Amino acid sequence: MRTFTWLWRAAVFFVLFAFALNNQNEAQVNWFFGAQWRAPMVFIVLAAFALGCSIGVLAMVPSWWRHRRSAMRQALAPGNANAAPDTLAADISPAAPATEAPPHPPRDGL
């Protein structure tokens, strides 16, 4: 299964690489007020992809902050068995014996 996964990744890489090599022609993006941007098609597609990823991450930031705030409020609530991350660090002493971590389950398909 792991071999199939790597073969699939290699195939996707080579298809995208061939796409990039076949689209080295110069393209033109027309902006407002007559502004233009001329660049190879590959760079234009890459810029559009990077811009889309950035906008997606920025759109998720408020949700992440809201979730983090609610988790901290829940951790700091009185009578809660879970401690806040800051209080956990104070409870650990350097002389405490280290416990061995449980073994991880096998990773299939990665």
CA distances from 44 to 24, 47, 84 (A): 10, 5, 46
* Percentage of residues in the chain having pLDDT higher than 90: 31
**Residue 92 covered by a domain:** no
Question: What's the predicted TM-score (pTM) here?
Answer: 0.51
Task: Give 18-69 pLDDT, tens digit per residue.
Answer: 888 887 889 888 989 989 989 988 888 889 999 999 999 999 999 999 999 9
Quote the percentage of the chain above a pLDDT of 70.
71
d(CA 42, CA 23): 6
In a domain, 26, yes or no: yes
Residue 58 covered by a domain: yes
Residue with tokens 């061995």: 100
Q: Is residue 94 part of a domain?
A: no
Count up the domains in the chain and report the number: 1
In a domain, 63, yes or no: yes
Residue 79 belongs to some domain of the structure: no
Q: Domain for residue 48, yes or no?
A: yes
In a domain, 88, yes or no: no
> How high is the mean pLDDT of the chain?
80
Q: Residue 27 burial (CB < 10 Å; 0-12/13-18/19+)?
A: middle
- The parent domain of residue 28 ranges over 11-71
Query: Which among 39, 2, 12, 36 is positioned nearest to 23, based on CA atoms?
Result: 39
Quick one: pLDDT at residue 101?
Answer: 63
Task: Please provide the DSSP assignment of 32-95 as one string.
Answer: GGG-EEEEEHHHHHHHHHHHHHHHHHHHHHHHHHHHHHHHHHHHHSTT-SSPPHHHHHHH--TT
